[in-house]
Amino acid sequence: MVCFSNWIRRTTPLVLSAVMLFSAGCNYHGRLKRGIYKTPSFDDKIDASVLVVADKFLQHTFTFKDYNLTPINSYVIRVDDGAAVASADALATLFSRVHVDEYRFRHQYDYVAEIDYHVEERGEEGFALVQNDRYLWVRKYWIPQFYTTVTLTLRNPNTRAAVIKLNASRLSYLEFNNAAVGVHWFNQLTFSLLFPVIAPVYTQTAGASIRKTLEQDLRACLRKIMRELEENRVLFARGPGRDSFPRNDHKYRELMKKTTYVETPTGHGSGFFISEDGYMITNAHVVEGQRDARYYLYEDLPFEPWRSEPPFRYARVVKVNHSRDLALLKAEGKFPYFELDDDRSHYKTGETVLALGNPEDEYWTMTEGIISALKNDNGVDTIHTDAAVNQGNSGGPLVLRATGKVIGVTSSGIVKHIAEGINFAITAFEVKRTLGIDQPIDEEKLLREEVEALPVTKPK
C-alpha cells in the first residue's frame, strides 16, 4: 500500500505536466506577419498623405476549430496589426506618404483609410467509401474554407465624407503545409496510438498553415482593391472636383431639416418633428423594445451611423402603439417641424405626394409619386402611394406637395419581387387619433398618461 502511494506521488506530477503540455500544445496562438504585401509601386504615385487607422474598424482576432484530427485543438490568430501594416504597404504603392496611427491624428493627413477586415469560417462536407474484406462504409470528413472580405474607405479627415469605398472578397480552401499533412497521415497509420504526442505537433503545424492562408487571402484582396483604386486616381487630383459632390437640395432643404434619421441597436428608420420643442413621430417597429433612440439631423451630414463619434443626440420614447405601428418620441431642443393635416377631405387620389426619409444606405432622400388609392384596413386609414420607398424609409413623412403638410407616415410596402409601386402610409388623421395628440402638443396631458401607465405596486 505504501509502495502504491509512493508510486502515485511520483507519477502524479508527471501526468499533470503531460496533460498541461498536451492541452497547451493543442491550442495555437499566432498573428499575421508584417510585410506580407510585397508588390511593386505604381509608375506614378499620388502626392498625398494617408493615415491607416490602427485603433478602429479592424478585426482583432480570428478563431477557428478543426475537427479533422481532434476536437480539442483551437486556433486564435491576431490579425489587426498585420492587416493594418499590409494595408499601409498596399496604399504606399500609390500614395507618397502612408502611416499607421491612431484615429485622433487624422487631421495631420490628406486622407483617412478605414479598413474593415473580416474572415468567416465556412466549409464543405466530403464523403469517402471505405472498404475491407467484410465491410463497406461511408466516412464523412470536413473540408475547411475561409471567406475573406476587405473594405477600404478613404475619407476626408475634416468633413468625414467618403471619397471612395472599395471592397474585395475571396473564398479559399485551407491549404495545409507538408508538415501538417505528414503528421495527420502518421496519426492514421499508427491508429492514433501516438495521439498525445502527435496532436500538439499537428495543431502547431496546422496553425501555421491557417495563418499563411489568411495572409494569402488578405494579400489577394488588397491587390484587387489597389488596382481599382489606381483606376480611380483622378478622384485624388488637386484642384476643383477634389471635394465630394455637394448636395443641392434647393427649396426641399427645409422639408429635409424637419426629417430625422432614427437609429437603435437593432436597426434604423426615419422620423419627423411635429413640434418646435422636439416631439417626433416614427413607426413603432423602428424603436421596437427601446426606451431611447439615437437620432441625426440633416445638418449632421456627412456622418456614419453606429460610429461612436459626436454628435450624440437621443430621443425618449414617450408612447407606442404596436397595432397601428406608431410611436411618439421626445428630443431636447428647438427644431423646425411639420404640420399634420388631419382633414381627410384633403386626401385625394391623384394628388402629388413626396416621401422623405433614409432608405438603405442613403440619407435624406426624396421621392415623388401620387396618391394611388385610399383604404381603411381593419379600422386604420391608410394611403396607397406609388412614391418609391425602401427599407429605412419607415417612419418618414408623406408630404402633400401642394401644401407642404404631412398627410401620412410611411409604414410599409410590397416587396419588389411581388409588385412595384405599392407602398402604404398611415394617415395623419390616424396619427392624431391613435396617439391622442394635437398641435400644439399638450405636454401636461402626455405626462399624466405616462404616470397613469406606470405599474401600481401594492404593499405587501
Three-state DSSP state, 363:
coil
Q: Which CATH class is domain 344-440?
A: mainly beta
Domain positions in the chain are 22-236, 250-330, 344-440
What pLDDT shows up at residue 143?
75
pLDDT at 186: 61
Residues of the chain under the 70 pLDDT cut: 1-26, 66-73, 124-142, 175-199, 201, 238-245, 306-310, 413-421, 453-460
The confidence score (pLDDT) of residue 68 equals 55
Contacts of 200 (CB under 8 A, 6+ apart): 21, 22, 24, 25, 26
149 closest CA partner among 135, 133, 170: 170
Name the β-bridge partners of 125.
Answer: 142
CATH topology match: 22-236 vs 250-330? no
Class level of CATH domain 250-330: mainly beta
Q: Name the strand (E) or helix (H) holding 163.
A: strand 162-173
Q: CATH top-level class for 22-236?
A: alpha beta
| E strand or H helix that includes residue 173 | strand 162-173
List Cα–Cα distances, 11 to 174, 225, 382, 431, in angstroms.
40, 58, 80, 79
Supply the pLDDT for residue 455: 63
Amino acid 8 reads I
pLDDT digits 0-9 by tens, 76-135: 889 888 999 999 999 999 999 999 998 888 889 999 999 999 998 887 666 656 666 666
Write down the pTM of the prediction: 0.58
State the Rg of the chain over Cα. 31
Q: Is the dihedral of CA 367, 368, 370, 376 positive or negative?
A: positive
Q: What is the spatial distance between Cα 202 and Cα 69, in angstroms, rounded to a whole number?
A: 8
Q: Which of 25, 76, 17 is nearest to 198 (CA)?
A: 25
Collapsing DSSP to helix, strand or coil, 179 comes out as helix
Measured distance CA(148)–CA(146) in Å, rounded: 6
User: pLDDT tens digits, residue range 345-391?
Assistant: 999 999 999 999 998 778 899 999 999 999 888 888 999 999 988 88
**Contacts (Cβ under 8 Å, ≥6 apart) of 105:** 51
pLDDT in the model for residue 63: 82
